[in-house]
Structure formats: C-alpha cells, structure tokens
Amino acid sequence: MGQIRFRSAVAPLRRSFQAKPAQLPSVDSLVAELRPAEPLHCIRPATLRATARRFVDGFATAMAPVSAGGDVLYAVKCNPDPAFIRQLWKGGVRHYDCASPAEIRLIRQMFGDAAQIHYMHPVKNRAAIRAAYLEHEVRDFSLDSVEELAKILEETAYAGDLGLMIRLALPKGNAAMDLSGKFGASRETAVELLRRARVVGERVGVCFHVGSQMMEPAAYERALELAGNIIREAGVEIDVLDVGGGFPVSYPDFTPPPLDDFMAAIRRGVEKLALPARTRVWCEPGRALVAAGGSIVVQVERRRGDELFINDGVYGSLSDAGVPAFRFPCRLVRPEGKSDAELMAFSFWGPTCDSADRMKGPFLLPADIREGDWIEIGQLGAYGATLRTAFNGFDVARMAEVADAPLLETPGHRVAARLPEATR
C-alpha cells in the first residue's frame, strides 16, 4: 500500500511578498508593477484590525450592563487564511468558533493556549470530538440532539469540565441566506437537552443563528425571546448565551443598519431574560469582521458586448456571485489612466470551461472596458479565497497587503483609509 497523505484546504494563498515592505502599497501601484495574469488577493491589515477592535469593544460595552461580559468568537470558516486571522488577533479577537479539526489545529498552531476555541458544529464525528478534547484541550461543544450529547460524553470519558451549548432551531427568517433548515433542536428537545446538560456539564448554554446577512436587528430580539421561553421551561440556569452570527455588511444590494443598532437590540433582548449574573454572552461574527478587509483583482480576458470573461469565477473566489447572486462592488484598474466613460452593466464569465461559471451581476463598470484591463472586486475577505477550488486547474492566486480603504464602508464599521505606519 502506498503512503497515505492528507491534503488540507485550510492553508494560505501564495504570497506576493517574501518580506514586508516598509510602506504598504496601493492596489493601483501593485497592478502597475506586477501586471498580474492571475487573480491577486489584496488584504487590508489596517481595516481588519480596526473592524475587529470596533466589534470586540462594542460588543463588550453593550453586554456589560446586562451580563457578566460579552465575547466575540470569530467564525473561522469565513476566512481561515492566517494573514487575516493574525490581523484579527491584533484587533483583540481571542475567541474562535471552529467547525472542524483542521480549523482547531490552525488556531492552536497560531496562538497556542492563549486562544479560546469553541467547537460550534452541532454534528461531529467521534474522532473529531476525541481529538478536540484530548489533543487540543477544547472544552466547549455545541449540539442539537440527544445522540450528539451521548457522543460527546462517551468520547470525552464523561469529563467533568465540559461546556455544552444547545443549538436552538429558529423559524425561517428573512436573512439573505436562511440557515434554519439544517441545525437546531426543537423546543421540546431543547428543554430535554438543557436539563440533561445541566446535570453533566460544567458550563451550559444555548446558541442560535438568525441567518447570514440579517438586515433586521429585531430578529435577534425575537430569537432571544424564544431562547428565554425554552430556558424557563427547562427550569435550569445557564452560563452562556450565544446569539450567533449573521451581522451584515454592505454590498451594492445591501445597506444594513448601523452595527450599534444590532448591539442595542441584543442588549434589550438579553436584559428581558434576567439571566444569572454569571452568564456570559457570546456572538459569532464572520463576514462582519473580514469582508471589507479583502478584495481581489481580476483581469479581463475577453469582452463580448456586455459580457466580460475574467480570470476568476464561481469555482474560485466568486462563488457567492454565482447561484447566491451577490453583487460585489467593483472598479476599473487601468495603469495607463482612468476612464471617463459612463458606467454600464456587465455580467461576468469565469475562466473554466463550465457554463455554470457565470456571474450575472449586474456589475457596473466603465463602458470602454476592454481585454487586458483589470477589475478590483471588493468585500471578498469573506467567503472569497476560502471557497476556491482547483477545478480546471485554475487554482493559482497570490496575496498582497495593501493600504487602501475598502471599496464599500459598512455603517458602524468605518475605518481610516491609511493608518500611520507606526500603528500597522
């Protein structure tokens, strides 16, 4: 038998720089210098740090009057690239929502015991549970069934230091991406799980997810009311209340309310529950922390009327522009000079031979765009590089750090375009 080798998808992209330059470049200067023929991912360190600090401090401040404190768990699945995670750490993130052994290993390798890892996938295989507990000292596990609780207890040898977080089912909501179908315990099951967990767990909590890109702050209040009813029916005290993720960011089709509106809604909802003073409140943002911190530069390989063939697509970093039909902010990058042409609507074709590799948009770009031009596409720090595949062999991409401001600002997330070098 040949040697068995493991391949991990949780790995960084190829880098453009071997050593960090004294001054971070702009996207335009990079394109002028490199004239990249493959996708170029641009990371904005200052944006990531500032956004993380804003979220961590804002959530802690909002939860202080109504709980023992508020903790921000970064949802690693949103972007597991170490370059991004390192900047979030510098911005104050110390807790991580991990969904797989690979994500857990990554965080432990990067930060050791200083990182607080929470295994928030409600369905895990037994080997993953054992490895998380025995090898990586993970103590918090989410679950939504009696069977999952039994697995966790058996594979940790009925350990006395477990944190057991019961994932609640929520009714279908109006988020951009509904997440109500796959996970979540019914009211009756959740009550039973809370009672059982309280007997065997050192920490017990409830968690839920209102859906991705939730534009309505009141959705968190409704979910908290449901959680409160279940907690009261179970007749147990909890140690953790996890309001999940779903915090939205700006896209051309989305202009969310300010972040403070979401914080205030969660605070009101928690206050009504009158939880024990020891209860900590968690949240699990992903997109809200990293979307603006990344963009991608693609090159136009052909123009056919209002259709542009570009060198990245739905099998690469633009998966969300495919079936989910997200429209991303974009701009022309032309080293020879800016265009004065009016904007017009374009659709994109990706580089593969698959006709499904299409992004309808519309994406607004100058009417004189042509083969050889470059396009910067923003808000791709979230679910961009992390969803890339090697289909048709189009898996080459590079990453560079830049100092530009994001293409779009989200209300409540505004950061300076360029921070002083000493703060980088």
Range(s) for CATH 2.40.37.10 in the chain? 14-43+291-413
Q: Mean pLDDT across the chain, nearest whole number?
A: 91
pLDDT at 424: 32
**Arithmetic mean of pLDDT, 248-264:** 93
pLDDT tier for residue 1 given thresholds of 50, 70 and 90: very low
d(CA 75, CA 289): 9
Task: Give the Å distances, CA to CA, from 339 to 21, 289, 298, 303, 343.
Answer: 30, 32, 17, 16, 10
pLDDT tier for residue 284 given thresholds of 50, 70 and 90: very high
Q: Which of 287, 308, 307, 312 is nearest to 297 (CA)?
A: 312
Q: 169 near 181, Cβ under 8 Å? A: no
Please calculate the CA angle 317-322-324 and round it to the nearest 5 degrees.
110
Higher pLDDT, 262 or 24: 262
Q: 280 near 67, Cβ under 8 Å? A: yes
Range(s) for CATH 3.20.20.10 in the chain? 46-285
**β-pairing, 374-377 with 294-304?**
antiparallel
Torsion sign across C-alpha atoms 66, 71, 76, 81:
positive
Cα dihedral value 146, 149, 151, 154, nearest 10: -120
CATH architecture for residues 14-43+291-413: Beta Barrel (2.40)
Higher pLDDT, 14 or 36: 36
pLDDT tier for residue 413 given thresholds of 50, 70 and 90: low
Question: Is CATH 1.10.10.10 correct for 46-285?
Answer: no
Q: Which of 71, 48, 94 is nearest to 283 (CA)?
A: 71
Higher pLDDT, 149 or 4: 149
